[in-house]
Structure 1
Amino acid sequence: MPSIAFIPKRLNEPPVVFRGMTGKEVVMMTVAGFASGLPLGIVSAWVLGAIAMVPTVCFLFAGAALWFGGTVMRRLRRGRSTIWFYRHVQWKLACAGLPMGEGGSLITHSTAYRIGRDSYRHGGRS
């Protein structure tokens, strides 16, 4: 079976869909905006007596999240790979002591490396 000697790096990256975000990021921003607009939509529907305010406010928040979230994501990821944002969120969760997905854990501390050939470890023999 023939193999390709050189595959460009950008060939394996997800395509940019909207405002510098990939498809997964667009969905994340839309869902976050929709969910953040839900409480205000429910309150405004109750105050105004119009149930149509719930989806209206939710979709306005989703659109704002897409617009401003794209700008924020572009600035955060400038010059970095597409996976950087997800690993950065994983690292922040690990530093906070919160459980992470995918069953993995990250190293959150650093120390000087020691070989372990000290005399006190071997019963005082030199």
Structure 2
Amino acid sequence: MSTIAFIPKRLNEPPVVFRGMTGREVGMMALVGFCTGLPIGAMSAWLLRMFAMVPTVAFLTAGIFLWFGGTVMRRLRRGRSTVWLYRHFQWKLASAGFPIGDGKSLITRSSVYRIHRERNKRGGRA
């Protein structure tokens, strides 16, 4: 019976798509950039009286977020697993009082764990 002597660690990790980001991260950065650019584009469209500024500025901002966001994401994830960043954001939100999901999936408080042993009637430990 033959066995595989070596299985690469990164075999099941998502592939890097653009500037060190995975496909999910590229989508998140583009969406955040687009949503950030919408109000800026709306203000510039109102000032210049050109409706075409709204999508133009939104897509331009999405591109800027993709370009510079790749560097930021790489620095945040350096040396950690691909899931770490999402769990870290989830933990930060849960610690701030905004639980995601059922609210009981993450431990958000720490305390000292002590074992109190009661004494039996004869004075010895139970």
- Scaled to the shorter chain, the TM-score interval is 0.7 to 0.9
Q: Does 1:40 align with 2:40?
A: yes
Matches of 2:94 and 2:123 in 1, distance apart? 41
- 1:80 aligned partner: 80
Higher helix share: 1
Matches of 1:20 and 1:30 in 2, distance apart? 14
Q: Indicate how the Cα distance of structure 1 residues 125 and 80 shifts in structure 2: closer, same or farther if over 3 A, else same.
A: same
Contact 1:94 1:105 (8 Å CA) reproduced: no
Residue ranges of structure 1 left out of the alignment (5+ in a row): none
Q: Indicate how the Cα distance of structure 1 residues 123 and 19 shifts in structure 2: closer, same or farther if over 3 A, else same.
A: farther
CA deviation after TM superposition for structure 1 residue 110, in Å? 1.9
2:22 is aligned with what amino acid? T
TM-score by length of 2: 0.86
Matches of 1:85 and 1:110 in 2, distance apart? 21
Aligned pair count?
123
TM-score by length of 1: 0.86
2:26 is aligned with what amino acid? V
1:82 is aligned with what amino acid? T
Contact 1:20 1:74 (8 Å CA) reproduced: yes
Residue ranges of structure 2 left out of the alignment (5+ in a row): none
- 1:15 aligned partner: 15
Over aligned residues, Cα RMSD in angstroms? 2.3
Q: Indicate how the Cα distance of structure 1 residues 123 and 96 shifts in structure 2: closer, same or farther if over 3 A, else same.
A: farther
Percent of aligned pairs sharing the same letter: 68
